[in-house]
Amino acid sequence: MTRIAVDAMSGDHGAPVAVEAVMASLRAHPDLEIIVVGDADALNKEIARHRKADVGDRLTVQHAAEVVGMCESPARSLRQKKDSSMRVSINLVQQGSASACVSAGNTGALMATARFVLKTLAGIDRPAIVSPIPSRRGHTLMLDLGANAECTPEQLFQFAVMGAVLAEAVHSVDSPRVGLLNIGAEEMKGNVQIQQAGKLIGDSELNYIGFVEGDDIYIGDVDVVVCDGFVGNVALKTSEGLGKLIAQFLREEFSRNALTRTAALFAMPVLRAFRRRVDPRQYNGATFIGLQGTVIKSHGDADAVAFASAIDVARMEVEQQVPERIRTLLAHSLGE
Amino acid sequence: MTRIAVDAMSGDHGAPVAVEAVMASLRAHPDLEIIVVGDADALNKEIARHRKADVGDRLTVQHAAEVVGMCESPARSLRQKKDSSMRVSINLVQQGSASACVSAGNTGALMATARFVLKTLAGIDRPAIVSPIPSRRGHTLMLDLGANAECTPEQLFQFAVMGAVLAEAVHSVDSPRVGLLNIGAEEMKGNVQIQQAGKLIGDSELNYIGFVEGDDIYIGDVDVVVCDGFVGNVALKTSEGLGKLIAQFLREEFSRNALTRTAALFAMPVLRAFRRRVDPRQYNGATFIGLQGTVIKSHGDADAVAFASAIDVARMEVEQQVPERIRTLLAHSLGE
């Protein structure tokens, strides 16, 4: 049995979406138990809208009176909202009542609370945010995506270890290729930190393939791309922006006049297949990695399909014992 | 008359592409003169393949015996290739024989040579690489795209001034909105440099709109996005990679079977219009800004259409007196 706590109140859509995702996950995985956390009345009402028979007693409700706002400051929510659905979900992991938690709440508050309550693994200075990015040959894991604006070479090395564990454990990549994000043509004399990180990773037992550039993320010749959270966040947001721009340009071109709208009818099935392939919902669920416990961040405006993907990420990481494996590989890589 | 030096030997395709672009530019702009630089025999042979009559004596050839390789180290090319087409082109600008030069040669060598020969403008610590990026409402200028991996707040401020001048002078944007690239959700206490840069830009006469995120580049609510060269280069390369991935996915979906290939026939005119709209060739020509003279970098594998775009960028910057305007605005912004 894998038991996961789901913060059902945070995020843009709250309980209805979270509960629908929870029901779907429980039906798909008979070995899964879920504790939904939030306002008990609201949650029970929402659960009553679904057929509960086929999930049996694998679904329980844990009351939490407060909700962390999507724009609330991490420090404030940490200090003042000790009975929030977010905090209670993480507490359940800390107490051992759940092995992982999933929340669509605000990233800063979730990270601050997770760090405060769960603490980092031994040998890990700071947790990182990691997520799969679609590539030509499947996907690439990238970290850090925004938790740490500035990183030491040691932290970048720890990210490399954590990314490699995730690629191997959850994405079934044998001896994952680890690359360090850098810029190409220039002399780079300034950036000592990346040179040193390269040396640390190169000297370890990881399958280090050296520096990679921004376009390599999407080519698929590297399994884990390591960078600081500033660069990673900019790369991620830039990609989101470009993706939306291209989608809009395609829509505009296909709706320009009667002729192009006819073409759209013919092209529709193909465009739908294309869309499924790049559907960000299947990539929903970023891991806060490096904590004593598994915390998965769902996108704030995730629908039920996307939210269920995030629950699935949590389930797989628990089953594959990701935190334990990080501890082992880290000790091994440092020659302990 | 605007006179431009064109390094016709560097880049992946050398003289044939450069000369074709030069002929097209001269025909399109009767006020333009071009000095093509490189192996005189090879260039004259190439020029002979075109009708020279309609460009008259506005085309001259300047011999240069060497070529800087695409992977040659900047330091080596600077020291050892004093008669390269790249170096001679830049020398022509320094001597006043040309007002700008265009090269498709390797970025590092071009930047190192341009800095060494031309020097930066008074008040500018380091030149930056700037280029327009397509957005929903036209395009966004972004700098630095890779010349300076690490930047001081003062340098970021100088980039803001230079970007604003370019937006106003060449892209006809009144009072361009300047944003500083940052990451959103997090506390950012680490990154003092960006906070300080924000203060410098905010205190100046520039139209500073504050921090922007990666996706804002493509939305079009900001005219100039300022960042250090590491982040800028990663954002640019990441976008290139994603663009190629999406193009490949579309191709694959449309060629999957007989049905989708039929759909492709109907969709073709629309897809072509879409392609024209995102065609990177129309955005070819990155400016090395902040130098005492205008240097434009064309993409290494630019075809003649793209190369001509780069020549056009040079022509406009000369006509709009970009370096002089930077000097003026910089003095003004510093309250001198």
E strand or H helix at A132: strand A128-135
Answer whether B39's CB lies under 8 Å from B63's CB. yes
Scan for tokens 């694959």, then name that residue: B252
Give the pLDDT confidence score for residue B279 in this predicted structure: 74
Q: What does the domain layout of chain B look like in residue ranges?
A: 1-122+290-320, 125-288
Torsions phi, psi for A296 (to 5 deg): -115, 130
Our CA-based measurement puts residue A57 at a distance from the nearest CA of chain B, in whole angstroms, of: 37
Q: Are residues B266 and A263, on separate chains, in Cβ contact within 8 Å?
A: yes
Beta strand pairing status for A207-212 and A224-226? Answer: unpaired
Q: How far apart are CA B136 and CA B113, in angstroms?
A: 36
* Highest mean pLDDT: which range of A49-53, A184-188, A292-296, B146-150: A292-296
Our CA-based measurement puts residue B157 at a distance from the nearest CA of chain A, in whole angstroms, of: 19
pLDDT in tens, A210-233: 999 999 999 989 999 999 999 999
Give the pLDDT confidence score for residue A49 in this predicted structure: 92
Arithmetic mean of pLDDT, A25-29? 96
**B189 to chain A: closest CA residue:** A149
Give the pLDDT confidence score for residue A173 in this predicted structure: 94
Answer whether A176's CB lies under 8 Å from A164's CB. yes
Q: How far apart are CA A300 and CA A303, in angstroms?
A: 9
Q: Are residues A242 and B245, on separate chains, in Cβ contact within 8 Å?
A: no
Q: Are residues A231 and B233, on separate chains, in Cβ contact within 8 Å?
A: no
pLDDT in tens, B29-81: 999 999 999 999 999 999 999 987 778 899 999 999 999 998 888 889 999 99
The yes-or-no verdict on residue A79 having pLDDT over 80 is yes
Q: How far apart are CA A330 and CA B13, in angstroms?
A: 48
DSSP state of A53: G
The yes-or-no verdict on residue A38 having pLDDT over 50 is yes
- Along the 336 residues of chain B, how does pLDDT read in single tens digits? 899 999 999 999 999 999 999 999 999 999 999 999 999 999 999 999 998 777 889 999 999 999 999 888 888 999 999 999 999 999 999 999 999 999 999 999 999 999 999 999 999 999 999 999 988 888 999 999 999 988 999 999 999 999 999 999 999 999 999 999 998 744 454 478 888 999 999 999 999 999 999 999 999 899 999 999 999 999 999 998 888 888 888 888 888 888 888 888 888 888 888 777 777 777 899 999 999 999 999 999 899 999 999 999 999 999 999 999 999 888 877 665
The yes-or-no verdict on residue A175 having pLDDT over 80 is yes
Q: pLDDT band at residue A335, thresholds of 50, 70 and 90?
A: low
**A229 to chain B: closest CA residue:** B183
Chain A residues inside the 8 Å CB shell of B219:
241, 245
> CATH number for the A126-281 domain, one of 3.40.50.300, 3.40.50.720, 3.40.718.10, 4.10.220.20?
3.40.718.10
Give the pLDDT confidence score for residue B308 in this predicted structure: 96
pLDDT in tens, B128-147: 999 999 888 889 999 999 99
Give the pLDDT confidence score for residue B175 in this predicted structure: 95
Give the pLDDT confidence score for residue A109 in this predicted structure: 93
Q: pLDDT band at residue A30, thresholds of 50, 70 and 90?
A: very high
The yes-or-no verdict on residue A43 having pLDDT over 70 is yes
Token pair in block for residue A210: 């050296």
Arithmetic mean of pLDDT, A322-332? 89
Q: How far is CA B13 from the centre of its chain?
A: 18
Our CA-based measurement puts residue B163 at a distance from the nearest CA of chain A, in whole angstroms, of: 19
Query: In a mutagenesis test of the A interface, which of B70, B152, B186, B265 is the best target, namely the one with the most A β-carbons within 10 Å?
Result: B186
CATH topology of domain A1-124+290-321: Isopropylmalate Dehydrogenase (3.40.718)
Among candidate residues A242, A224, A243, A239, the one with its CA nearest the CA of residue A128 = A224
**A260 to chain B: closest CA residue:** B270
SS3 B334: coil
The yes-or-no verdict on residue A186 having pLDDT over 60 is no
Give the pLDDT confidence score for residue A334 in this predicted structure: 66
Give the pLDDT confidence score for residue B189 in this predicted structure: 47
CATH topology of domain B125-288: Isopropylmalate Dehydrogenase (3.40.718)
Beta strand pairing status for A128-135 and A286-289? Answer: antiparallel
Answer whether B326's CB lies under 8 Å from B289's CB. yes
The ipTM (two decimal places) reads 0.84
Amino acid A25 reads S
Our CA-based measurement puts residue B221 at a distance from the nearest CA of chain A, in whole angstroms, of: 12
CATH number of B1-122+290-320: 3.40.718.10
Q: Which of A183, A219, A274 sits opposite B234 (nearest CB)?
A: A183
A/B interface, count of CB pairs below 8 Å: 205
* Helix residue ranges, H only, chain B: 14-28, 40-48, 74-80, 85-94, 107-118, 153-169, 192-203, 216-219, 229-254, 258-278, 304-319, 322-333
Answer whether B198's CB lies under 8 Å from B210's CB. yes
Q: pLDDT band at residue A154, thresholds of 50, 70 and 90?
A: very high
For residue B50, CA distances in Å to A277, B21, B33, B39 come to 47, 11, 17, 17
Q: Look at the alpha carbons of B238, B240, B244, B246 in this order and tell me if their dihedral is positive or negative.
A: positive
Give the pLDDT confidence score for residue A34 in this predicted structure: 97
E strand or H helix at B100: strand B100-103
Q: Which of B74, B215, B246 sits opposite A241 (nearest CB)?
A: B215
Answer whether B305's CB lies under 8 Å from B279's CB. no
